Structures are given as structure tokens and as C-alpha cells.
Amino acid sequence: MKSNLFVVRIKIALAFLLFFNHHINAQDSIITAQIANTEKMYDLHFTPAKRDSMVDQLKIYLQYYRYVHSFNLPNSVPLPQWFDPVLPEMNFNTKQNKIYWNIPENVTMPKDTNELAFYSILQLASLIKHKKITSSELTKFFISRLKQYGDTLHCVISLTEDIALKQAKKADDDLARGIYKSPLQGIPYGLKDLFAVKETKTTFGTTPYKDQLINEDAFVYTQLEKAGAVLVAKLSLGELAMDDIWFGGQTKNPWNLKQGSNGSSAGSASATVAGLVPFAIGTETYGSIVAPSAICGATGLRPTFGSIARTGAMTLAWTSDRIGPICRSAEDAAIVFAYSHGADSTDRASRTMPFNYTGTADFLNMKVAYAKNYIDTLPANSSEKNVIATLQNAGVKITPIDFPANLHTNDLLVTIWAAESAAAFDPLTRSGEDAKMAQQWKSRYPNMFRSARFIPAVEYLNVCRLRYLVMQQAFPLLRQYDIIIVPSMADEPMALTCLTGNPCITLPSGFSPDGSPTSITFIGGKLFSEAAITAFAKKFQLLTNYHLQHPEMFKK
């Protein structure tokens, strides 16, 4: 039986080769001199005889590339190889406990309604639950702020006013019938405009897709809809999730309008910090939640890889993309994550894991470290050293460690990101439509996609295998600690945890002399430790109150 099957396979292969040989024409000539020149790009060295033997096979490959190109695979077609950050030696608790949210009873409506812009989710939830304001009223309030300040910050791509008013009315009607879903019921929010929502445009922030309609609702949107949250806007992102420049301009930092808000979840961070929405949803492949949160003074949670299914979201890199909340406090981030995390059958890399948030962190018994090789050389008055001092004064024992810095994690991650994103946007590159994108300098996607076409499949796969070795090397160190403190914008720690899938939370740590916010990042040493890092960050915020400072120009 096996022998017959083998013969059939050989016949199919021969027929396949004959077909492509038949369709090769004079324009497909490949000569050994071309092979010799190409070798130099890939650090390869073949003999003349070996080059000669390759010619026929390379012609066949060329024909097959044309066959593949004929499909013009859209961004939504998945990659059927799923990255899993879980190593064989890892073990996890799988029991989900009930979370008790401490919704305050005595929240009052402010005399100046503009103050509502910076109320926490639990404060707003209290007002709605106790019927001191309706969701419809609150939704109209935030829509008004989006209209007032959206152009100033260049952070709004489209308002979803009709959807918002319908969802707000439903939240109010449910509450009137005694149906209470969650603290997010009736709370407005914004989505980074790479998530599909029926009857809205999903622009990816760039001209070639600015009129794109996707007849699908993203998983994270449906999760929040189930919780009763109200979508008021689709917010700006740097083109195809890079940087803060999109077809409408540059998204601005609410603390300094002369600066961009960094990328790519630029609008999500900017709108949240300016009080245009109580929270927003962002994504990260390499720094796109961490960086804008750090620059704008938001609290951004980048969860463990796979914690929130990415169905209905734009793909940039299948093995690195993540979804997470951008908020104004750690507890707000915990609430949003609690109701948005989970898996579905479409995103095969997603998994539903417990989020047993209690809101309390045992400072005396938590194992905390800081990356001394990134922090010890900073000035004595740096925000990072001030964070460590604040925690030590509160009783936290902090161990200095050398964070892995010589594993070439940045190079590995960028290679994976480049190859996968070039595949995800293959039709864009070949059509020439990439010329319509705003960002055309060499370090941006049009050129990155073109250059990535020359990453060999063999090298891409070997880089993925090296990634696994890095995960194995990092695991013994990371697992020793509940929290590892690093500078938010340090490339190697950010890249390493993007490769390993570890979660982190980025939050305000003070202010620089020019008035701009500084930040700190707490990495979870273990996968799926979002409950621990959000509780730890909450306690730090209770000690400092930096998160309660807001940009003056948006308090009106």
C-alpha cells in the first residue's frame, strides 16, 4: 500500500514539473551568472557545476511563484503554522476564579462635567449603575470631546456615532430591566482602526485601504460588546501599524502638540490620555503598545501572546501580533482585559487562560528584579531609579540582574516581522499601490516589504528556530521573578519579550523637566501573569498618583 502511494506521488510530482517546464518561455531564462551574483546577497558559495544543475529547478520555482501570485492573497488569509510561546517545562493554573470589582457607591456627578473625561472606569460604572448618568448621556459627552479635539490630535479616523448611540441605548435598556453585565456596561471606548467592525471602514491607517469595508466583527469588538461597552470611534494608527503617521497626518502627543505620539497604537494612547475616551484597544508587534503608552503617559497592557484572539484584526506578523488595552490606570487595564481576553476557533494561536485578578499585590513576598545593565548607568535622578526607590521604600525587595542583552533579539524579531509582514501585504507590493502610502522613506514599510522579498525561506525558518533557542535561554532567568523592571524604550528587553511572548505593563513614572511624562515597564516573568503585573502596577500607582495627572489643554 505504501509503495503504491509513493508511486502515485512521484507521478504527480513529475506531471507538475512537466507542466511548468511546458510553460517556461524565453523570458524566463536564468543563467549561471545570475545565480553567482545572487549568492553574494545570501552568504552562499556554489561551484559552477552546482549552479548549472540548479537552473532548471529555479525556472520551475519562477513559474510557481507566478502561480501563487495569481491568488493575490488578502491580509485576512491565515498562516496555518501557529506560534506557541509555551515551552514544554511550563505549567499553569487553569482555574478561573470569580473577580470582584470594587465599584464605589458614593461617586457623584461633578459640577464641571468636563471632569468626567478623566474619571476611571469604576467611577463611570458607579454613575451608570446608580443611574446618576445614562450611557446615552455619557456617550454623547465623549462623542462631543472627540469632535472637539480629534482634529487637534489627529487621533480619530472615523466616529461610529450610530453604532455608539444604539449600543448606549441597549446598555440603558438592559440596566432598566435589571440586566447588569459588567463594569464596562455603557462605557464608551475606541478601537485602533485595524479591527473590522461591520458597517464601518477599516482603513489600516493608509491610503490604499482608506475605503476598505470588511463584513466582519473582530473578536475583541464582540467581546467588549458582550460586556456592554460602547464603541464611539475608530482611532488612528501609523500606516499598517508603524509609527504615528497616517493618511490624515501625524497623531500628536497630548502633552506636547509639537511631538508625535509614537506608534503604532498612536490614536489609542493619545485619545485616552486626552480624555476623549475612557479607554482604547491597541495592538503590538514590536513596541506598538509600549511606545505610545510611554510617550503619552498612558497605562498600556501588552498581554501574553495569544491571550486575545486576533480574528478580525489586520495581520502584520502572525507569530508576534498581540492585542491589549490602553488605559489611564492599571486597574482600568485589568477590567478591560478581563472582559476582552479569550480564544476562538479561528485564531489557532489563541488560548483562554485564567485571569485571577484580585487588585492586591503582596509587596513583601513578590519576587521583583530590575535590569541593572540598563538602569545602573542612568543618572541618579532618573525616573527608573526613582521607581526602584519608591518600591523599596514600600518594602519591596528588588534584586539586580543582568537582563539578557547579547542574544541579537532585535535582529531576530525584525527579520521575522519583515518576512511575515511582506507576505501579509504581498498584493500591495506587487500592485505598486504602496506608492500611495504617506511614509516613503527607506526605513518604512514600502521599502521594508520590497527588501523582505529577498529573505530566503530557509533563513526565515532558521531565524524562527533561533527564536526557540532564545526562548529556552531566557526562560530560566525570567521564571524566577514575578516582576522585572526595565526602561520602557530599551530595545532588547522589548524585543526579547516580544519573541518569548511574555506580558508587560507600561505606566507613567513621573515627569521630565520639560513637563512630558516619563514611564516605566514591568515585565511579567511568567506567561499569563497579567493578574500579577496589573495588581503590582496598581499598587505602584496608589503610591505615586502620576497616572492622575492630565494634560492641561484637554481639561476644558
The residues annotated as belonging to the active site are 192, 264, 288
Which cell numbers in the block locate residue 306? 495569544
Cα separations in angstroms, 28 against 17, 262, 264: 15, 45, 41
Region of 515 on the Ramachandran plot (φ > 0 left; ψ -120 to 50 alpha; else beta) = left
Under 8 Å between Cβ of 110 and 133: no
> 459: burial class by Cβ within 10 Å (0-12, 13-18, 19+)?
middle
Neighbours of 344 (CB within 10 A): 16
Closest listed residue to residue 294, CA positions, set 486, 127, 553, 439: 486
Q: Between 161-176 and 135-153, two packed helices, what is the crossing angle to 10 degrees?
A: 160
Closest listed residue to residue 502, CA positions, set 290, 282, 302: 302
Under 8 Å between Cβ of 401 and 371: yes
Vertex 444 angle, CA 442 and 450, to 5°: 75
Alpha-carbon gap, residue 229 to 465, rounded angstroms: 41
By DSSP bridging, strand 483-486 and strand 230-235 are: unpaired
Contacts of 384 (CB under 8 A, 6+ apart): 370, 375, 378, 485, 487, 509, 520
Which cell numbers in the block locate residue 556? 476644558
For every residue of 238-277, DSSP letters joined together read STTSSSSEETTEEPEETTEEEEE--SSSHHHHHHHHTTSS
Vertex 277 angle, CA 125 and 266, to 5°: 140
Q: ω into residue 264 within 30 of 0, thus cis?
A: yes
Residue labelled with grid coordinates 511579567: 524
Which cell numbers in the block locate residue 361? 499585590
For every residue of 355-400, DSSP letters joined together read ----S---TTTS-EEEEHHHHTTS-TT-HHHHHHHHHHHTT--EEE
Edge-to-edge strand order for the sheet containing 483-486?
156-159, 230-235, 188-192, 280-284, 322-327, 299-302, 504-511, 517-524, 483-486, 368-371, 398-401
